[in-house]
Each structure stands twice: as structure tokens, then as C-alpha cells.
Amino acid sequence: MQKVKTESIGDDDRIADPDFVPDLEVMPIYTDDFEEVDGVNIDTIIENIEYSSSTSQPPTPSETFPHPGPSSRPGSSGRSQAKQKLNLQKYLSVDEQICSTKARHNLKRYNGKKPHKWGYKIYVLIGVSGFAYKFEPETGAENVVGPNEPNLGAAANVVVRLAREIPRNQNYRLYFDNYFTSLLLLEYFTKQRILSLGTIRRNRIPDCKLPAEKEISKTERSYSVEYVACVQGTDISTVAWKDNKIVTLASSFVGELPKSQVSRYNKPHKR
């Protein structure tokens, strides 16, 4: 069998129409010194470009990058107006939260008691509805004391900073746990007319008159005892209450009484 060599004709229009004549565009003709026949000189164009670049002044840094002041920031006025219209709820709380992440960062913390054990640690001011009004990430260098604010320690200063948004002299209720609570913190908020309550550690109560935890553990469940002390002219109530374990509370506006009945889970009876 002989092999026949063929050529591909492609899209050549001359095969379909033998009388086809392509319409070629008339291209400009240039001489050896890059001067066009119609009289346009390329050297003149280059000279004009160099002259315009030498006479024009470059913009100043302030014109190129304007200062990001409050007036030039987009939406800054809207955020400030929304912040003024936002009313805080009467019952507020300060607590810590772990924002889970898989990133590798030096601000990543571990807390085995949280649902998400690894993440960024954030202190949050929230209302009774769960709405977060203000938050502050823990960086290790945020212990800044403002003017006319006492230095109550790193933990208590967090509550003081987050409570700056709370109106004074309106008897807002503020709650926090034993990580933040101290008697001086309660005394400070009392002078600001902010009612506060929190669980407290025994070693933060100087000359504690409450019974020892071993004695309270021998009593029946729901046992409670109260002592009131004066801290720099402010009455602070400390209460020890036996629940599943012994809970110690300190407050500037509530105490042991009045008592009421509540439903609690009974582990021995499983009900």
C-alpha cells in the first residue's frame, strides 16, 4: 500500500472562491530614522514627554496619603452616633471567653475548663440578653490605668476598663466571677453608684470571719452564713453558701436575706 502525502488547506478562502482578493490595510511607511511619511516625527514626541515630566511637580505626601483623621475615616461619624444611641441593659456582666482558633500565635491561650480549650482569650462586657457591648483581648500588656482610676491589680483593672461605658449614679447591676472580684473593686463601684456582686476567693478577704470550708462541708445543703464588713466607709457583705460545693460571694447591695426556694439537681437521688 502506498502512502499519499496530503496538505491541510485550513481556512484558506481562496479554495472556496478562486476570485477572492484580500482587503489589505494600508500600513504607514517609516524611514530609517523612524520618521513617518506623513510628517510626524517621533523625536518630537519624545522631547515633549521629557519636557512635561520635568516641569510637573510630584504630589506631596499629604496629598497622596491624607492623614486618616476622624473626619476622613469612612463611617466614623455613623459609628459614634450608633454608640451614643446604644443603651446598656440594667443587668451587666464581665467574663472571659475563649475565641477558638487553629492559628499559631503567641496570644493563643489554653483553658481546660472552656468548651473550646485553645484560642484567643477575650474579656467581654455583656448584658443579660447575651449582647456583647465591649470586649478586650488579652495580650499581656493591656494593664493600663486611666486617670482618676485606682490600680486594683491586673484582673480587677479589666473590669474597671470595661465598665467605663456604664453610666454612673444610675444603679446599674454589674456581676463578675472570682477571677476579678476583690473588696476594693466593690468599694470603687459603690462610690461610682454601680451595684456589684461577684464570687470571691477566700484569700482575697482580709481577716475573713466566715467559717472554714471544712466546717461548712459538714452542714446540710443550702446552709449559708453572712458577715458584713466596712471597707473604707463602704459596707460589703460576704456570704458563704453550700451548694454542690461551697460558694463564697461578696456584694455591695445584697446579702443572705431574703431566702427563697429554688430547684437544684440532687446528684445522690439523681433528680
Residue 50 lies in a domain: no
Residue 190 lies in a domain: yes
Residue 25 lies in a domain: no
Residue 263 lies in a domain: no
> Which range marks the domain in which residue 233 is found?
88-251
- What total of structural domains would you count in the chain? 1
Residue 132 lies in a domain: yes
Residue 184 lies in a domain: yes
Q: How confident is the model at residue 20 (pLDDT cuts 50, 70, 90)?
A: low
Res 36: pLDDT = 46
Average pLDDT, the chain: 77
Residue 115 lies in a domain: yes
Q: What is the average per-residue pLDDT within 80-99?
A: 78
DSSP character string of 164-231:
GGSPSSS-EEEEE-TTT--HHHHHHHHHTTEEEEEE--GGGSTT--SPPHHHHHTSPTT-EEEEEEEE
Res 245: pLDDT = 87
Q: What is the pLDDT of residues 3-14, one digit of tens each?
A: 444 444 445 544
Residue 169 lies in a domain: yes
pTM: 0.64
